[in-house]
């Protein structure tokens, strides 16, 4: 059973602050003299025995170039797609500096073994009505040596 601790900060009348700690989220609304006051809730969940998706993978990694992405896609959607093949450390979708709009490509850093699987499975894969192009990303150093 995973414990959940909720700390409720109540901004009470006259600027006084009351801190309460509850064992469940069911007590997330506080009443003082019959008046609901602003509550700020922080939930802390201890990590379970399995690896958390927020913890970076520490083994050998590879960065993939992902092209022909839908312009409306978000980092979380790309992370979920590539996460099916291995641990994902980061997703960076490239944006136009002037407009802030996505350019339709990005980079995914993930475990080397997962990256190999993702390249074979997701290259030419139809994702949100677009055909993805997935390759190993070229390093900036090799680009500058070739110019």
- The residue that leads in pLDDT, 132 or 3, is 132
Residue-number span of the structural domain to which 29 is assigned = 5-44
Asked if residue 98 belongs to a domain, the reply is: yes
84-115 pLDDT tens trace = 999 999 999 999 999 999 999 999 999 999 99
Query: Domain tally for the chain?
Result: 2
* Number of Cα atoms under 13 Å in the Cβ half of residue 126: 1
Are 74 and 109 found together in one domain?
Answer: yes
In a domain, 34, yes or no: yes
**Rounded Cα–Cα distance for residues 105 and 83 (Å):** 17
CATH code of the domain in which 65 resides: 3.30.70.330
What pLDDT, in 10s, does the model give residues 50-70? Answer: 444 567 777 899 999 999 999
Half-sphere exposure for 39 (CA within 13 Å, toward CB): 18
Residues 128 and 100 in one domain: yes
Tell me if 49 is assigned to some domain.
no
Note whether residue 103 is domain-resident.
yes
């Amino acid at each position: 059973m995973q414990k959940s601790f909720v700390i409720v900060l109540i901004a009470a009348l006259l600027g006084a602050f009351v801190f309460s700690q509850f064992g469940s989220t069911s007590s997330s609304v506080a009443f003082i003299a019959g008046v609901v006051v602003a509550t700020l809730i922080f939930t802390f969940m201890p990590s379970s025995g399995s690896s958390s998706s927020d913890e970076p993978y520490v083994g050998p990694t590879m960065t993939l170039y992902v092209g022909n992405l839908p312009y409306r896609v978000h980092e979380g959607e790309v992370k979920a797609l590539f996460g099916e093949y291995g641990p994902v450390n980061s997703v960076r979708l490239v944006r136009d500096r002037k407009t802030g709009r996505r350019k339709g490509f990005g980079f995914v850093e993930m475990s080397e073994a997962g990256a190999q699987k993702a390249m074979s499975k997701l290259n030419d894969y139809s994702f949100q009505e677009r055909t993805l192009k997935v390759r190993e990303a070229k390093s900036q150093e090799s680009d500058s040596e070739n110019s």
